[in-house]
């Protein structure tokens, strides 16, 4: 197999990869749910409230529920990074805006809504208590002393307290604690037992959302779904289809659970990583064909506690609601930074991102950081690439002899290949030597693709002039066209294919790749353009030196 054929196979493989990504975007949505037997109503608990694990307690007392919000005003919470809304019905966080992350460059004053209750996109955070007697779940009504809470200048923390005091032996206060500059929210349930007997139970926190948001623009395909972490497996995906088919029921120490989407995540994290938390999933089918009728839940319950009469107990856990900031996530819980999913080539992607950060600290611009990383890679692989380019130069030198052989043995393929191998042996040329530069680039290219796709730090990052978002396509297609031109120039520097059909196919590749790269992140196209320009310069210099030296290897 000659170099040209190898290049053709690699190029077609990349095209197939792009077509697969496009298919996933258009048709890779979760299938319509099959008819499922409804949950048995052994008690009066709503279907989206988790049950006590059978080995922890007996049948819980049914929980009183109230309909809807009854038109009550939501509690608004403002910090320097959040605008939250809490529903008194359940004390759930039903809306969360990330103030530092605009929806798009065209809407700089409209922040991303990670949590919401709209039919198109439902994603909420819930929690409550489960016990051997009545306790507040996320369906119970809470009261609050204010309708709005704000983190004031000079304050580092803000607490929002909600009270549940139904007639009975226990009272509960649910407290959200937020910090300045942090997307981490502490949740604390303070239970006081005023009865004559002990109370036994636990707290739970859960994330509930619809599946992949139908009708919303998705320019790229990335994983959207649940994730769970344990010491044995730090990053384990649980797709919506898996939740639909089978319930998760597992005890985990030092773990966490999350719902992730492109650039952002919501996660529930134990308050004490040394304790066993019980992790579960729930599938909620509202029996309607309307969009958003399916709901998926992942959550965890704290270890059980027994509260003596007159005593008080505290149950706590944490929620993270925000962007996938790797440096911050790794300090919150082991493996939480793995939600920035770089795929199978993570061992290349992580060092690339580390280098990008260092160059960004120097240049102050992510685009120039990509340019510097590309230059670094070219220097790192200079000698290996040079060997490949020398092989190409020598292949070009013997090209007239190979073409003469093709004309002589055009009807005898076996004799043609034998004669060509004899020339390669005489000239000490490896016909596959020119493949090395391409082999080097492919894994780096794919790893950098995922870095640019997954790293929220590069979301809406500017470069120069018209390129105001390196994570999105070039709006005027300048970089893809330049990339196509550089591919064409490289082809002219390489030896022409022996097969006329291959030559015609190779000539179309710059056009094909220009079209495909028009929809790639402009940061990735920038890397490819700079890499091509540096490769052309290196190849031209090597060819000129070989010509001056009489084209001897």
Query: pTM of this prediction?
Result: 0.82
> Considering the domain boundaries, does residue 46 fall inside one?
no
* pLDDT for res 12: 54
**309 pLDDT more than 70:** yes
Using 50, 70 and 90 to split pLDDT, how confident is the model at 87? very high
Residue 263 has phi, psi (to 5 degrees) of 80, -20
> Considering the domain boundaries, does residue 262 fall inside one?
yes
**141 pLDDT more than 90:** yes
* pLDDT for res 414: 86
* pLDDT for res 406: 79
Most confident of 223-232, 284-293, 374-383: 223-232
> Considering the domain boundaries, does residue 180 fall inside one?
yes
Least confident of 85-94, 167-176, 216-225, 450-459: 216-225
**271 pLDDT more than 50:** yes
Helix (H, G, I), strand (E, B) or coil at 21: helix
Q: Which sign does the torsion angle of CA 469, 473, 479, 483 carry?
A: positive
Tokens of 395: 């292949």
β-bridge partners, 173: 163, 190
> Considering the domain boundaries, does residue 10 fall inside one?
yes
> Considering the domain boundaries, does residue 59 fall inside one?
no
**211 pLDDT more than 80:** yes
**425 pLDDT more than 70:** yes
The count of C-alpha atoms lying within 13 angstroms of the C-alpha of 387, restricted to the half-sphere facing its C-beta, is 13
**301 pLDDT more than 90:** yes
Which comes out higher in pLDDT, residue 122 or 499? 122
**537 pLDDT more than 60:** yes
pLDDT, tens digit (0-9, with 9 covering 90-100), for 465-517: 899 999 889 999 999 999 999 999 988 877 666 666 766 777 888 898 899 88
CB 320 within 8 A of CB 265: yes
Mean pLDDT over 201-221 rounds to 76
Residue 552 exposed, middle or buried by CB count within 10 Å (0-12, 13-18, 19+): exposed
Query: How many domains is the chain built from?
Result: 2
Domain of 184, CATH number, reads: 2.70.98.90
* pLDDT for res 11: 55
Do both 290 and 186 map to the same domain?
Answer: yes
> Considering the domain boundaries, does residue 525 fall inside one?
yes
> Considering the domain boundaries, does residue 54 fall inside one?
no
* pLDDT for res 1: 40
Helices 366-380 and 522-548, packing angle to 10 deg: 30
Do both 376 and 304 map to the same domain?
Answer: no
* pLDDT for res 344: 87
Q: Which of 294, 326, 341 is the last residue of a domain?
A: 341
pLDDT, tens digit (0-9, with 9 covering 90-100), for 14-37: 555 554 554 444 444 443 333 344
Do both 318 and 368 map to the same domain?
Answer: no
> Considering the domain boundaries, does residue 433 fall inside one?
yes
Using 50, 70 and 90 to split pLDDT, how confident is the model at 446? confident
* pLDDT for res 350: 94
**207 pLDDT more than 80:** yes
pLDDT, tens digit (0-9, with 9 covering 90-100), for 363-396: 999 999 999 999 998 888 887 777 777 777 777 7
Do both 489 and 382 map to the same domain?
Answer: yes
- Alpha-carbon span 319 to 311, nearest angstrom: 27
Which comes out higher in pLDDT, residue 156 or 4? 156
Do both 168 and 241 map to the same domain?
Answer: yes
* pLDDT for res 147: 95
pLDDT, tens digit (0-9, with 9 covering 90-100), for 55-83: 443 333 333 333 344 567 899 999 999 99
**144 pLDDT more than 90:** yes
**339 pLDDT more than 60:** yes
- Alpha-carbon span 541 to 386, nearest angstrom: 10
Q: Which of 295, 317, 341 is the last residue of a domain?
A: 341
Sort residue 469 into left (φ over 0), alpha (ψ -120 to 50) or beta.
beta
Which comes out higher in pLDDT, residue 22 or 437? 437
- Alpha-carbon span 11 to 173, nearest angstrom: 61
Q: Which of 309, 341, 373 is the last residue of a domain?
A: 341
Do both 70 and 215 map to the same domain?
Answer: yes
Do both 14 and 136 map to the same domain?
Answer: no
Tokens of 415: 């004799």
**54 pLDDT more than 60:** no
Residue 367: which domain range?
A: 3-21+348-548
**530 pLDDT more than 80:** yes
Do both 298 and 358 map to the same domain?
Answer: no
Do both 254 and 322 map to the same domain?
Answer: yes
Do both 147 and 231 map to the same domain?
Answer: yes
**407 pLDDT more than 90:** no
Do both 360 and 329 map to the same domain?
Answer: no
β-bridge partners, 122: 117
Mean pLDDT over 462-466 rounds to 91
Which comes out higher in pLDDT, residue 244 or 503? 244
Which comes out higher in pLDDT, residue 400 or 97? 97
Largest distance between two CA atoms of the chain: 105
Mean pLDDT over 138-155 rounds to 94
- The DSSP bridge pattern shows strands 75-78 and 148-150 to be parallel
Do both 280 and 304 map to the same domain?
Answer: yes
Residue with tokens 């049950």: 51
Helices 346-363 and 436-454, packing angle to 10 deg: 70
Using 50, 70 and 90 to split pLDDT, how confident is the model at 539? confident
* pLDDT for res 41: 33
**39 pLDDT more than 90:** no
For the chain, state the CA radius of gyration.
30
Please provide the average confidence, as pLDDT, over all residues in the chain. 83
């Amino acid at each position: 197999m000659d170099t040209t054929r190898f290049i053709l196979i690699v190029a077609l493989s990349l095209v197939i990869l792009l077509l697969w990504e496009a298919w996933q975007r258009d048709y890779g949505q979760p299938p319509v749910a099959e008819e499922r037997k409804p949950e048995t109503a052994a008690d009066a608990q709503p279907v989206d409230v988790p049950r006590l694990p059978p080995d922890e307690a007996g049948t819980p007392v049914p929980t009183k529920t109230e309909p809807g919000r009854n038109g009550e005003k939501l509690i608004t919470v403002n910090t320097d990074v959040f605008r939250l809304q809490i529903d008194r019905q359940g004390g759930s966080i039903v809306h969360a805006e990330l103030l530092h992350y605009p929806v798009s460059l065209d809407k700089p004053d409209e922040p991303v809504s990670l949590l919401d209750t709209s039919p198109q996109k439902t994603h909420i955070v819930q929690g409550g208590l489960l016990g051997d007697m009545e306790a507040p779940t996320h369906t119970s009504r809470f009261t609050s002393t204010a309708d709005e809470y704000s983190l004031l200048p000079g304050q580092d923390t803000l607490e929002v307290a909600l009270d549940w005091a139904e007639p009975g032996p226990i009272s509960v206060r649910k407290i959200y604690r937020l910090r300045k500059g942090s997307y981490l929210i502490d949740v604390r349930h303070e239970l006081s037992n005023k009865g004559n007997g002990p109370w036994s139970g636990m707290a739970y926190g859960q994330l509930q959302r619809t599946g992949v948001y139908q009708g919303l623009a998705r320019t790229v395909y990335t994983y959207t779904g649940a994730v769970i972490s344990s010491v044995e497996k730090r990053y384990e995906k649980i797709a919506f289809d898996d939740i639909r088919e089978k319930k998760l029921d597992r005890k985990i120490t030092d773990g966490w659970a999350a719902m992730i989407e492109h650039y952002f995540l919501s996660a529930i994290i134990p308050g004490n990583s040394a304790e066993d938390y019980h992790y579960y999933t729930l599938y909620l089918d509202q029996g309607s064909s309307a969009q958003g009728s399916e709901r998926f839940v992942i959550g965890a319950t704290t270890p059980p506690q027994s509260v003596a009469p007159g005593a008080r107990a505290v149950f706590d856990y944490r929620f993270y609601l925000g962007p996938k900031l790797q440096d911050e996530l790794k300090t919150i819980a082991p493996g939480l930074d793995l939600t920035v999913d770089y795929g199978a080539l993570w061992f290349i992607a992580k060092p690339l991102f580390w280098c990008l950060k260092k160059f960004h600290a120097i240049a102050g611009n992510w685009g120039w950081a990509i340019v510097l990383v590309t230059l670094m890679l070219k220097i790192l692989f200079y000698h290996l690439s040079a060997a490949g380019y020398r092989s190409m130069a020598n292949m070009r030198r013997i090209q007239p002899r190979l073409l003469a052989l093709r004309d002589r043995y055009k009807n005898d393929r076996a004799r043609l290949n034998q004669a060509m191998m004899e020339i390669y042996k005489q000239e000490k040329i490896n016909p596959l030597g020119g493949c090395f530069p391409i082999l080097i680039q492919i894994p780096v290219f794919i790893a950098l693709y995922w870095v640019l796709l997954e790293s929220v730090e590069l979301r809406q990052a500017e470069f120069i002039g018209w390129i105001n978002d390196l994570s999105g396509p070039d709006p005027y297609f300048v970089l893809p066209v330049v990339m196509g031109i550089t591919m064409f120039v490289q082809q002219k520097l390489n030896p022409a294919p022996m097969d006329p059909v291959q030559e015609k196919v190779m000539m179309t590749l710059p056009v094909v790749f220009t079209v495909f790269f028009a929809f790639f992140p402009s940061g990735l196209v920038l890397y490819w353009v700079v890499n091509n320009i540096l490769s052309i310069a290196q190849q031209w210099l090597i060819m000129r030196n070989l010509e001056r030296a009489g084209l001897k290897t």
